[in-house]
Structure 1
Amino acid sequence: MDLATIWFIAIAVLWTGYFILEGFDFGVGVLLPFIGRKNVDRRVMINAIGPVWDGNEVWVITAGGAMFAAFPAWYATLFSGFYLPLLLILVALIARGVAFEYRAKVDTDRWRAGWDQAIFWGSAVPAFLWGVAFANIVRGVPVDGDQILAAGLLHLLNPYALLGGLTTLSLFALHGAVFLSLKTGDPVRSAARRAALRISAVAVPAGAAFLIWTQLSHGKTWTWPVAVIAAAALVLGVLLALRGREGLSFTATAVSIGAASVLLFGVLFPNVLPSTIDPAYSLTVQNASSAPYTLTVMSWVAVVFLPVVLGYQAWTYWVFRKRVTREHIEPVPAYGGGGGTGSGTAPAAPTG
């Protein structure tokens, strides 16, 4: 196995970690207006992901940086052709991050409601568009002999890609609901369990359809077990949620997301961006990679720093492992009258 293949696997691992960890963050954001009917409950939901959401985003930054360094041709062609959806994702992530920090800056219901909408859309848009983007990568795009991708937004919104977007959106929402049932106390916990069951009515059939479509159209013999694991883990996660086995249910949904990601990268290899114009124009692990020297330097950097990053993130999850309840939320001071209707500035809680 050469370094180019190793780095393809490493990038697949980074994206898989991102989808699993940032997936429940997106899910919590999507569920914010539906589960958090009161401000105190919305604060419980935000505080549940508050210590980890920005650390989870490091995975996508690292994945993008690794793609740029290890496969510059893949990065350049992909980001130029997918410019609009990736720009929308970036804007949504920026708005979401600002919303987490600014939500508690002013003590008015109108102020908080506006930032809550930013959290919702900043979570829902990436959750949907990541599925659209990766479905198109697997399906193939019109890459010509000069490695130029000529695809407009409407070309990317094909039925397979839209199903991929629905799958990631519903699966992340389910993952987030299970996370909330694991990480919060009542009444958020009970509302999250009910939400998980309702979301499963969309996530299970959409996920199953997408896995079957992917496998039948692009799959290989060895990816069949991966598709089965993804589907089985999804169903098992729902059944465990029904029985109140929250820890196991969260593990199952994480396995389902991870297996689905492995399936996508598995059916893609050895291509990194298939061409629908001519297979000879496809970008592959070999023709899109950097020079061996660059890959060697990257490998040594990863060996040194990756354990540090993983250790720090694991420590963060361990420190903030306890449930968040209403009792942990301090009352919001009312400046100018009336418990959340004043116009002054409230002291800012770190997580909203």
Structure 2
Amino acid sequence: MELHDVWFVLIAFLWIGYFFLEGFDFGVGVLTRLLARNRPEKRVLINTIGPVWDGNEVWLVTAGGATFAAFPEWYATLFSGFYLPLLVVLVCLIVRGVAFEYRVKRSGERWQRNWEAAIFWTSLITAFVWGLIFGNIVRGVKIDSELEYVGGIGDLFNPYALLGGLVTLSLFTFHGTVFVGLKTVGEIRERARKMSLRVGLVTAVLSLVFLLWTQADKGNGASLPALVVAVVALVAAVGVAQTGREGWAFVLSGLTVVAAVAMLFLTLFPNVMPSSLHEDWNLTVTNASSSPYTLKIMTWCAGIATPVVLLYQGWTYWVFRKRIGTHHLAEAAH
């Protein structure tokens, strides 16, 4: 396996990790309005991801940096062609981060309510836009012989990509309901369990249509097993969540995210960004990659730094592993 192939796998791993972790993060943000019935319950939901949301975003920064260094042509075409959607993601992530930090800086109800609304909307919009972006990457966009994007913003809003946006939004929300059930006690936990059934069924239908469409249009022998794993894991996660075994349900919902994103990358390889104009103009791991020397240096750096980051983030989740409820807010205030 060549180094550019290795880095395609590593970048896929970074995106899978990002969507696995930030997926339930976005889902909890959406649930602050769908699940919580009052402001104390919103605080509980936000507190479940309070210690980890910023660490989850490190995966996105690393994925973007790795793409820039390992595949500069891919990075350049992606960020020029998807400039507006990526700008929306960036603005939402900035506002979302500010909302988490500034929500408790003042005690006024209106102040906190507005920041909580910002968390909801930025979580919802970002979850949808990521599906829109990756749907277009897999489907292919207008790339010319100079390996430059020549389409317009309207080309990105096609049925396949819009369905991809609905899939990521619903899947992340379902992932979030399972996470809330795992991290809370009392009435919130029970309500999350009931909502996971409704959201899970919608997610199962949307995901099945999207993944089958992907397999029929772009799939191969390697992507088919990932499709099967994603669908089976999702159905199992919905069923297990109803039994109150949130730990297993979270593992299965996470496996769904992992398998679904892996399937998208498996349909891409050896392309990184297909051209819808001519297959000879596809961006591939070969024509979009950096020099072998650059990739070699990056491999050594990644081999040293990645285990350290994984250990630290795993330790963070272990420290904040306990369940919480509204009564903990009263105890903390006292």
Shorter-chain TM-score bucket reads over 0.9
CA distance in 1, matches of 2:155, 2:237: 34
| Percentage of pairs with the same residue | 55
Q: What is the CA distance between 1:279 and its match in structure 2?
A: 0.8
1:221 partner letter:
G
Q: Which residue of 1 aligns with 2:121?
A: 121
Contact persistence 1:275–1:282 (CA under 8 A): yes
Give the letter for the 1:305 counterpart. Answer: A
* Counterpart residue number, 2:303: 303
Q: Which runs of 5+ in 2 are unaligned?
A: none
1:330 Cα deviation after fit: 4.2
- Higher mean displacement: 191-200 or 269-278: 191-200
Partner residue in 1 for 2:197: 197
1:332 Cα shift? 9.1
Larger Rg: 1
- SS for the counterpart of 2:288 is coil
Q: Give the superposed CA RMSD.
A: 1.1
Q: For 2:257 and 2:151, locate their aligned partners in 1 and report how far apart those are by CA, in whole Å.
A: 28
1:344 counterpart residue number: none
Match of 2:226 in 1: 226
**CA distance in structure 1 between the aligned counterparts of 2:146 and 2:3, rounded to whole angstroms:** 25
1:25 aligns with 2:25: yes
Aligned amino acid, residue 63 of structure 1: A
Listed as ranges, the matches of 1:280-295 within 5 Å are 280-295=280-295
TM-score by length of 2: 0.98
Q: Please report how far the alpha carbon of residue 331 of structure 1 lies from its aligned counterpart in structure 2 after TM superposition.
A: 7.4
Higher helix share: 2
Determine if contact 1:230/1:257 at 8 Å carries over to the other structure: yes
1:35-184 equivalences in 2 (<5 Å)? 35-184=35-184
1:91-113 Cα shifts (integer Å, max 9, x gaps): 01111110011111121221111
> 2:148 is paired with a residue of what secondary structure?
coil
Q: Secondary structure at the match of 2:80?
A: helix
Give unpaired runs (5+ residues) of structure 1: 334-352
Q: Deviations over 1:255-286 (max 9, x none)?
A: 01000011000000000010011111110000
Q: Distance in 2 between matches of 1:69 and 1:99?
A: 31
Measure the CA separation in 1 of the matches of 2:102 and 2:332.
14
Question: Per-residue displacement from partner, 1:214-235 (whole Å, max 9, x unpaired)?
Answer: 0010000122111010000000
How much has 1:193 moved relative to structure 2? 1.1
Residue equivalent to 2:216 = 216
1:306 maps to a residue whose letter is T
Q: How many residues align?
A: 333
**Cα deviation 1:89-139 (Å, max 9, x = unaligned):** 110111111001111112122111111111011101110011010010000
Separation in 2 of the partners of 1:81 and 1:331?
51
- Work out the CA distance in 1 between the residues paired with 2:228 and 2:133: 23
| AA matched with 1:243 | T
**Cα deviation code 1:18-37 (max 9, x no counterpart):** 00000000000011012222
- Residues 107 and 332 in structure 1, CA contact (< 8 A), matched pair in contact too: no
Distance 1:226 1:105, change over 3 A: same
Instruction: State the TM-score, normalizing by the size of structure 1.
Output: 0.93
- Report how far residue 190 of structure 1 moved: 1.3
SS in 1 for 2:119: helix
2:312 is equivalent to residue 312 of structure 1: yes
